[in-house]
Homo-oligomer: A and B are copies of this chain.
Amino acid sequence: MRLSDIEELGLPPGTKGLPLDGSIRRVADLAGRGLNLLRGDLPVPVAVLKRSALDTNLREMQAYIERVGIQLAPHAKTTMCPQLFARQLTHGSWGLTVATMTQFKLCHDFGVSRLILANQLVGRAEIEGLAHLWAQAPERDYYVLVDSLVGARAISEGFSRCPGAPPARVLIEVGMPRGRCGVRTLPEGLTLARAIKTLPQVELHGVEGYEGLIVSERADHDAAAVTEYLGSVLQLYEALTSENLFANPDRVLITGGGSAYYDLVAHVLTGKSKGVLPILRSGCYLTHDSGFYRRLLARIEDRAVTGAAPRLVPALEVWSRVISRPQPDQAIVMMGKRDVSYDIDLPMAHWVYRDGRDTAPRAIEGLVVEKLNDQHAYLSVPASADLAVGDLLGFAISHPCTTFDKWSLLMEVADDYTVIGGLKTFF
């Protein structure tokens, strides 16, 4: 599939946000129709991405990675939107990162030439699937993670069964105690690397870590813990280098997560030997948010480890309507667990628009989302609020990943909320 095919893709019935008159049948139909969210042209809820904000974030991040001297392989899982992948690659991303082989195949099919499966490759379907995809395009620069000998052997056997597949390029995942995947100690990593060297059809090309698990209320503590953890990734790299365990010592990947700690990943992983290719895998910079990542970006700014933080702005909003004002202190909005993130923070009502009164969204304060059902939000409303059935409310979100996966199509909008395109996701 090519990017241009997405524009021609038929939009299935049930696609949220599409006009109910059936006038929009393909993604391409959305541009240029002058559909406007504020004017009430779209059924709600609807998820929008502001093009101006996306553009800002693409530019800001590109400038940042160039300044700090790291490569960016944004995590595709955040958006699962090939149209956005294309913009990320155009704006200087080295490649993309994925979490599952299904995500990998999507990117492979769209022709992405550098991919990191930032996850353990386990399972016959997955290992043989990768070997076959890679055999079709052996020139592609693909990497997967390992953290156990059992896993490395299974990859070796799977790739050996597939004629034409190049050797699997693996990175050793370095974990942390009570963390996620990954070797827990340097000796474990060394032992694994020595074993990999003896296996057919597997090559060791680097080390990987994910520091993003470290998040507490204490910014100083977290920064110290992240720095220490990234140091352990680097120590494994050094130990493996001194034993000459990398398949290509002139090009060794060292990669960290990064949505929360760009600065520390860049600070620790860059400026090493000439053979090191340091890679950041942030997925959330593109849309940023108004909760979790806003708070973490403020910490980057405070730390000033790599100078100024990128000036990211929130691009993703979910809009819906007040459908009931059953009590003076309560409003019910047509938006629920199916429409918006609720895993870190509940959505935040930031803007109101009333048809016939407003010409642009007004900032609103004091409305608090107290609870979500599958399809409804419960808002507490201060006595002073002027809020009526039919009013549109714009919600800022926290954690873009869990909002994206609730939408097969997001509307790309101009600053006046005119739809200028459709962004299709593939979850």
On A, residues with C-beta under 8 Å from B are 1, 9, 12-21, 40-44, 77, 80, 99-103, 105-106, 109-110, 119-120, 122-126, 128-130, 132-133, 147-148, 150-151, 154, 175, 177-184, 321-327, 330, 332, 334, 337-338, 342-343, 355, 373-376, 378, 388-390, 401-402, 405-406, 408, 426-427
Contacts and interface: CB of A to CB of B under 8 A. Distances in A.
Contact of A123 (B14, B109, B119, B390): B390
B40 A125 contact: yes
Given A123-B390, A129-B43, A374-B402, A325 B148 contact: yes
B389 A122 contact: yes
A91 B128 CA distance: 42
A126 B43 CA distance: 6
DSSP class of A's interface residues: helix, strand, loop or mixed?
loop
A325 B182 CA distance: 9
Contact of A181 (B9, B12, B43, B332): B332
Given A150-B388, A389-B148, A77 B177 contact: no
A184 B334 contact: no
A338 B334 CA distance: 22
A209 to B, nearest CB: 13
B337 A402 contact: yes
B20 A326 contact: no
A216 to B, nearest CB: 15
Chain copies in the assembled complex: 2
A324 B120 contact: yes
A376 B14 contact: no
Contact of A183 (B80, B124, B326, B427): B326
A95 to B, nearest CB: 18
A338 B401 CA distance: 9
Contact of A337 (B43, B147, B343, B388): B343
A119 B20 contact: no
Contacts of A42: 125
Contacts of A119: 323, 334, 375
B16 A378 contact: no
26 contacts: A1-B13, A13-B110, A13-B426, A14-B80, A14-B105, A14-B106, A16-B100, A20-B105, A20-B130, A20-B132, A21-B129, A40-B123, A43-B100, A43-B125, A77-B374, A120-B389, A122-B322, A122-B323, A148-B324, A148-B389, A151-B389, A177-B327, A179-B326, A180-B378, A181-B332, A406-B427
A1 B17 CA distance: 19
A38 to B, nearest CB: 11
**Can you list the 8 inter-chain pairs with the closest CB atoms, starting with the nearest?**
A20-B129, A14-B426, A181-B324, A120-B323, A14-B106, A40-B124, A99-B375, A122-B323
A131 to B, nearest CB: 10
A80 B338 CA distance: 12
A322 to B, nearest CB: 8
A20 B342 contact: no
B103 A175 contact: no
Contacts of A44: 123, 125-126
A326 B12 contact: no
Contact of A20 (B14, B102, B182): B102
